[in-house]
Amino acid sequence: MSERNQNIEAIDTHSDEKKTATNTENSGKQSSTRNQNYEGLAPRIKQLNKKMQKCQEEATTLLEQASQYAHNNVEKAYELYKDAGEKENECHAIWEEIDQMARPFYESEGPLSAIYEEIKQSRQLEEAMSLNSMGMLVLQMGKLDDAQAAFNQALVLVEDEDIYLKAPSLESQVEFQNEMIKAFHTVKASSLIELGIIHQMKDKFKKAEHYFDTAFEECIEHEIWDRAAQALSFKAACALVQGDRAGFLRSIDEAIDFAQSHGLSKLEMSMREIKTSHLMEWDATGEDEKTVSEEFSQVEEQLKSISEIDRDKPNEKLIDYLLLDSQFKLEVGAAMAAKRRLHKALNLAQASKYKQCSIYLQLAKVCEVQKAIDEGITYAENALRIAKEVGIRDMIHTALQTLIYLQLETEDTEQHKKAMDNVDSIINQLHVGESHENLAHVLLQRALLKFKVQSLETALADIEKAEKLAVTPELCRCILVPKSITLWKMGRREEALEASVQAIDLLTKQFPSTSDSLPTWRYVLDQIEPLYEGAALLAAELGRVKEALEYAENGKAWLLRHQLIRTESAIDKQQQKFWGSFEELKALFAAESIAMVQFCVVGSRTLLLVLDPRREAPQAFFADLGDNELKTMLPSMVSEDWNEVVKQALPRLSEKFMPILRDVVEHCDLLYLVPNSRLFFVPFAALTFDDGTPLAKHCALAYAPSAAILKHCFSRRARPKKRTCLAIGVGSEQGISFAEQAREITTLNWTDSKWLSKITREQFFDIVKDYTVLHLSCHSRIKEIFDVKDMLSASYIDFAGNQELTARDVFNFKGKLQEDLVFMNACMSGGFRLHLGSEVGGFWQGFLRAGATSLIAALFYVNPTSAQELALEFYRHWLEGDVTKAEALRRAQLHVYQKNDPLKWASHILIGDYR
């Protein structure tokens, strides 16, 4: 029985007591008219009270049933809540009748007056709670205006706190009053939070943040700790929707700390899961792998403690953990392991359709990564079926959009038709007054479908509609990219270039200006080079080649550039463009007969931008070689047959690139190569002209991640001219001792040298900064992604005592190296795990950031004898003759040149300063 019904029972009982007392007191006397009236009403009050009790019990049963359906069938829950509401209204009508009859008799009496006030308070609070519950349901159904009205009504009912603060007449009622006050503020805080969510969904972000802040203040004042933590987490989500990832991390960390300090272990775990999920998604390089692992470990520990406490729901948090773990497995490349975790979660989620839907959507994502599109479509269809059964509109839309994306990936026209029907279904469900962003996303998907079937005019029309609706800079940028591509396809190149430049401007404004770990860089790095390269391609097609070169350069190696900025001031921290101009580079190169070629792999072509100091302007050429062909031609470097893969690719690469390079290499002494994508791993020295002569016979070669980083390397030249060498040799191959090879290097014409065969990682960093040349003869490897996600830690060399020196270890040395040259005579030391376009990794990134001016490393698995011969020949030319490093390497390569086996002579490349 509810507290309100108990109080009415008290009135009822008191009326019997009053009747008896009145009869005794007035025995032998004529009863007053007032008492006669009361005695006549008492039976009716009793009757109404019983009727209201029954009505209230029915309402309570309906509410309990509704709560059971809330996550599995929202529409059913909504109908039950409506029925419960009707019962509540019936109770209210009965109460009004009792109120009218009984009020004159009890308004002035202390004990009954207190009970009477409690009944009024209970009634008002229950109505507010009911409105709050109804609001949540209609919000899930996508009826934003109805939900907003319900929460506003609930706020009105709990607006006047004074009615709950009247001192109770009975001491026994103090506890009840305190409960009422707590419930009052809880309803108020919940309504404020939900109103914040609604305003966020309507793209009214400032107002949403105001509601979350107000709710938090309300909760702090009245010690409603769980709602306070929720208000903070929703504010974090609001920042995320606006593209403010740094703001999200600040707010979610504040929420986690708050939950932890107030013993809210379940909430803390949920928020850690959200944070960890986003960190995994955003970490482009694995640089934050340690942070993610620490967060993940905390989630695991909390799962154990919560499982001990909450034994009645052992599967709920385990399912959440398995979902998170599957994401982690997917991020590190273990797709099959991710799928196994998800199927285990699916078996545990039989009682929760909501969880089933989430699991099917994650399975669809795994299939997308595996390129198992048909299987992914099946999972997405299962998710959509369940979402429709549950009735939560956002869930339906998420499932539909996942399905549409997968349907777009197929070449099946029937799937394209289904995708179009699904898009139209979402558009028809979106209501006036709701988020323009949601509609913009869907219009963009419809535009992509139309683009796929070459309906360019209608695709552009949808894109332009979406552009007008977009609110956040991130969505605006996402719309401008397909707009540029569509305009280009239509031959409207000037407009296409304008759209690309607008997208670049939006992205650079979102660029995170702080944080050395750069946890939110992935969304920038995924987009920045494709945007700049798209602009370069358009400018080149328009004949504006200087502009094209500037765009191409500004898209190169963003991560390493900014890591160098954070290490030293060699590059102006205030500049976004990082380099000077074509004229500056031309003047720099002309004095020393240097040329440069920038490669941009865009779609099905490669744009080559050639800077030849003999010419007044750069030149643009297109090679018929695209990204898909390069991926097929040059797959993962980690494979053991990499040498043969490269050897097989050389004729095709020569056919496409050498006719373009012929003119420039005949008139320069040195050609700088600024590659991207898989071209980093091509031994250009071994590419041949039609007559079979290799490029190395025409000029020296050197590689650079970008012109800006090349200038940075040049800026570090002002060092002592004494050449001192630290040579380290560890391990052996084919009976050849690497220690002995390192010792042989120290016998050359050095000012000073030191040879080491047993050295730990710690000893290495203590001694390495004292020498100008570092020579390493050892084993080098690149780990698979499921061994380690961190791209730098994936590249390593073997040291004594089973120790590894990783590129991450070197990278963390942060500018302390004084090496004019690092020579890595080690297999695959010039390779790295490719992750984002022109972003270099491995020992390129490690040694350049650590302070080295230049690096020589091997792109293949090398024969130790040939590699040692090449190294000795290189040092002889460089130490004894007046030649640059680039020319010394060229002469050494030609010394060991074998016409039919480039793997024995062309493996080593020079990166950075050529002198």
Q: Is the pLDDT of residue 31 over 60?
A: no
Cβ atoms within 10 A of the Cβ of 152, count? 14
Tokens standing for residue 705: 């991640």
Average pLDDT over residues 587-606: 90
At residue 717, φ and ψ (nearest 5 deg) are: -70, -25
How does residue 104 score in pLDDT terms, banded at 50, 70 and 90? Answer: low
**What's the confidence (pLDDT) of residue 839?**
84
Q: Which residue has the higher pLDDT, 739 or 734?
A: 739
Tokens standing for residue 718: 């002002």
How does residue 23 score in pLDDT terms, banded at 50, 70 and 90? Answer: very low
pLDDT per position as a tens digit, 614-638 = 888 999 999 999 998 998 999 877 6
Residue 454: left if φ>0, alpha if ψ -120 to 50, beta else—which one?
left
Average pLDDT over residues 896-909: 86
**What's the confidence (pLDDT) of residue 516?**
44
pLDDT per position as a tens digit, 406-434 = 998 888 888 888 888 888 888 887 755 56
Lowest mean pLDDT among 362-366, 731-735, 833-837, 851-855: 833-837
Query: What are the residues whose beta carbons fall under 8 Å from the beta carbon of 187, sequence distance 6 or more?
Result: 125, 128, 129, 132, 154, 158
Bridge-based pairing state of the strands 736-737 and 732-733: antiparallel
Residue found under tokens 């999200």: 248
pLDDT per position as a tens digit, 792-810 = 888 999 998 788 999 999 9
Rg (CA), the chain: 36
Query: What are the residues whose beta carbons fall under 8 Å from the beta carbon of 478, sequence distance 6 or more?
Result: 444
Chain mean pLDDT for the chain:
84
Residue type, 515: S
User: Could you tell me where the DSSP H helices lie in 493-544?
Assistant: 493-509, 522-541
**What's the confidence (pLDDT) of residue 576?**
42
Residue found under tokens 């463009």: 577
Please give the DSSP secondary-structure letter assigned to residue 610.
Answer: E
User: Whole-angstrom Cα distance, residue 599 to residue 704?
Assistant: 11
pTM of structure? 0.80
Q: Is the pLDDT of residue 780 over 70?
A: yes
Residue type, 765: F
Tokens standing for residue 241: 């929707």
Query: Of how many residues is the chain composed?
Result: 915
Cβ atoms within 10 A of the Cβ of 10, count? 17
Please give the DSSP secondary-structure letter assigned to residue 354.
Answer: H
Q: Is the pLDDT of residue 30 over 50?
A: no
User: Whole-angstrom Cα distance, residue 45 to residue 763?
Assistant: 92
At residue 404, φ and ψ (nearest 5 deg) are: -60, -45
Please give the DSSP secondary-structure letter assigned to residue 514.
Answer: S
Average pLDDT over residues 709-717: 87
Q: What is the DSSP string of 807-868?
A: HHHHHTTTT----SEEEEESTTTT-----STT---HHHHHHHHHT-SEEEEESS---HHHHH
Tokens standing for residue 613: 């100091």
pLDDT cut 70: percent of the chain above it? 83
**What's the confidence (pLDDT) of residue 300?**
67
Lowest mean pLDDT among 502-516, 717-731, 892-906: 502-516
Residue found under tokens 């709560």: 67
Average pLDDT over residues 816-832: 93
**What's the confidence (pLDDT) of residue 19?**
46
How does residue 774 score in pLDDT terms, banded at 50, 70 and 90? Answer: very high
Residue type, 127: E
- What does each C-alpha distance from 416 to 406, 419, 448, 449, 464 come to in angstroms? 10, 5, 10, 7, 22
pLDDT per position as a tens digit, 119-140 = 666 777 777 888 888 888 888 8
pLDDT per position as a tens digit, 358-410 = 999 999 999 998 989 999 999 999 999 999 888 888 888 899 989 998 998 88
Q: Is the pLDDT of residue 5 over 60?
A: no
Full set of structural domains in the chain with CATH:
1-106 (no CATH), 144-262 (1.25.40.10), 435-555 (1.25.40.10), 718-912 (3.40.50.1460)
pLDDT per position as a tens digit, 434-458 = 668 888 988 998 999 899 888 999 9
Average pLDDT over residues 587-591: 82
Lowest mean pLDDT among 82-96, 691-705, 791-805: 82-96
Tokens standing for residue 539: 């400018």
Q: Which of 41-50, 310-319, 586-595 has the highest mean pLDDT?
A: 586-595
Q: Which residue has the higher pLDDT, 22 or 391?
A: 391
